[in-house]
Amino acid sequence: MHTSSSPRRSPRTSWLAGTFRPSAPSRNRTGARAGARATTTLLAAAALLVSGCSAGSPRTSADGVAEAALAALPRATPAALSPYYEQPLHWRSCGAPGFQCATMKAPLDYARPAAGEIKLAVSFKKATGSGRPLGSLLVNPGGPGGSAVAYLQQYAGIGYPAEIRAHYNIVAMDPRGVARSEPVECIDGRQMDAYTQTDLTPDDQKETNALVDADKKFAESCGAHSARLLRHVSTVEAARDMDMLRALLGDQKLNYVGASYGTFLGATYAGLFPKRVGRMVLDGAMDPSLDAQQLNLGQTAGFETAFQAFSKDCVRHPDCPLGGKDKTPAQVGDNLKAFFRKLDAHPVPAGDADGRKVGESLATIGVIAAMYDQGSWGQLREALTSAMKENDGAGLLALSDSYYERDASGSYSNLMMANAAVNCLDLPPAYTGPEGVRKALPAFRKASPVFGDSLAWATLNCSYWPVKATGEPHRIEAKGAAPIVVVGTTRDPATPYPWAQSLARQLSSGRLLTYVGDGHTAYGRGSACIDTAIDAYLLHDTPPPSGKRCS
């Protein structure tokens, strides 16, 4: 099992990754952990030490720890970056009708712009209205590692409200190291199959050694195959790429909708370029002030909250094999833990062409994947019924494969690899080795009796990463920015609601919009109240009052 924050991340990073997942009835799922995606740490904090980005005046927290704030970059574009900010973009038709694509060049290292470049994939869909567009609207579905270009072409460019599509040119860019933008590469499909099946709840030293060995080999492979990229896929660098794209599109300010990890990316942009913020929506928000330990524990509690909601629903459904009329929600969790223990000893067949069986790790990821969207709860009940009563793990394997973005041929997208690369660069590891995880197990078990052990051990990925982290936890204030709408869902599994509350407080112009409900992210997932508030903001520049709640 592996984690990173949004809907996604790499098979094992410090937290579960996450990407925006459209609701089951109305949307096609796109993107990555989370994003969303499996069990790594969903989100990573921004890098403060990249390219002259320094911290602002520290603030002392309640526990006496100094908290630095992300400092804005100078307003003037450095002369060394002028060739990049003035480059032509050569658009061509691509994907479905109406979409255009181009390649944008950016410096690999912003501290040394002349030392080499990276090529980034960009796509856009022209506004459908006859009047003058309001400008460009950049979208990002999260991850880290989710393909924004795929999200645009498969959902946003055709599924966003008609009025939004009429008034904006909708644009996407795969962040550096992701999908079409010089992807991070680590291991092949067969190796990834083995990695995702590694036991994440070691019972003895032998199993602990096997887990550590798997994480070390994954990290070493990433270092061997993507050495050039690994030091330059931070969120700060991706945010600077976004500003370059803004300029090349001819926009004075950046209009942006980011989901899950995309909120961290957008907030980082606002911290670096506060005066260039236009209309910005951060949906399913991350908290950049948290370190990797806090992020992992917070997300573990978030998945427990979502599972408790599923458990209450389960006991009302006769077809739920974990519950039934005579069971309580607490017994649902106990029954699932017992089933996980059984799978740990005896994996069940799944009819997989490659001979994979569903053990505890894949089953846990399958259950976690269903927590991202309550529309998947029925599918999870069916999958659990097949596995528990018919010894058939195909349904759970399908859920796990969807999280990891594995196709029927056995190939994986680079979602999990990019997820690890970004997360491990953005924040120092939660723990330096197994002993740290063992000491933290009581806290994780308290946060989630069901998922605590697996999510604790999933944090080891970054412990062996070949590149030292360049980022650290920090607040983002973005002083001087236009109003920024921060959206939080009260029972969001991957980006817990307290994260949205915290980010809205940090941002000097933050406006908290709350959805009282289930699932990961809120915009476009069925709440007319949420959609109306965000559409009014994007179209008429009328942000909702801070504290507005929808259900």
Whole-number average pLDDT of the chain: 90
Structure tokens at 323: 């519950």
CA 394 to mean position of chain CA atoms = 26
Q: Of the residues 373, 401, 492, 518, which is catalytic?
A: 492
Look at residue 47 and tell me whether its pLDDT is greater than 70: no
Q: What is the pTM of this model?
A: 0.91
Q: What's the pLDDT tens digit per position in 496-516?
A: 999 999 999 999 999 999 999
Strands 510-518 and 484-491 turn out to be parallel
Mean pLDDT to the nearest integer, 466-493:
98
Provide the percentage of residues in the chain whose pLDDT is more than 90.
Answer: 85
| Apex 74 CA angle, 49 and 54, nearest 5 | 20
Look at residue 46 and tell me whether its pLDDT is greater than 50: no
CA-atom Rg of the chain in angstroms: 22
Phi-psi region of 191 (alpha: psi -120 to 50; beta: other; left: phi over 0): alpha
CA distance 7 to 16: 8
Instruction: From 161, 223, 255, 195, select the one nearest 406 (Cα to Cα).
Output: 195
Look at residue 312 and tell me whether its pLDDT is greater than 70: yes
Q: Residue 504: is it exposed, middle or buried by C-beta count within 10 angstroms (0-12/13-18/19+)?
A: buried
CB 249 within 8 Å of CB 171: yes
Can you identify the CATH homologous superfamily of domain 1-319+408-551? Alpha/Beta hydrolase fold, catalytic domain (3.40.50.1820)
Q: What's the pLDDT tens digit per position in 23-44?
A: 433 322 222 323 332 323 222 2
Look at residue 63 and tell me whether its pLDDT is greater than 60: no
What are the distances in angstroms from CA 163 to CA 149, 168, 538? 21, 9, 10
Q: Of the residues 226, 413, 520, 527, which is catalytic?
A: 520
Look at residue 442 and tell me whether its pLDDT is greater than 50: yes
Q: Of the residues 5, 221, 260, 454, which is catalytic?
A: 260
Active site residue 260: yes
Q: What is the pLDDT of residue 28?
A: 28
Look at residue 465 and tell me whether its pLDDT is greater than 70: yes
Active site residue 232: no
Mean pLDDT to the nearest integer, 86-94:
97
What does the domain layout of the chain look like in residue ranges? 1-319+408-551, 320-404
Q: Could you tell me which residues come within 8 angstroms of residue 341 by beta carbon, excluding any fewer than 6 positions away? A: 360
Mean pLDDT to the nearest integer, 522-534:
97
Active site residue 520: yes
CB 16 within 8 Å of CB 38: yes
Query: Hey, CA dihedral for 291, 296, 297, 299, is it positive or negative?
Result: positive
CA distance 182 to 103: 11
The 8 Å CB, 24+ separation contacts for 336-343 are 336/367, 336/450, 337/449, 337/450, 339/363, 339/384, 339/387, 339/388, 340/201, 340/364, 343/387
Q: What is the pLDDT of residue 17?
A: 52
Q: What's the pLDDT tens digit per position in 139-159?
A: 999 999 999 999 999 999 999
**pLDDT band for position 96 (50/70/90)?**
confident
Q: Does residue 485 sit in helix, strand or coil?
A: strand
| Apex 75 CA angle, 70 and 77, nearest 5 | 110
CA 378 to mean position of chain CA atoms = 24
Structure tokens at 535: 């559409």
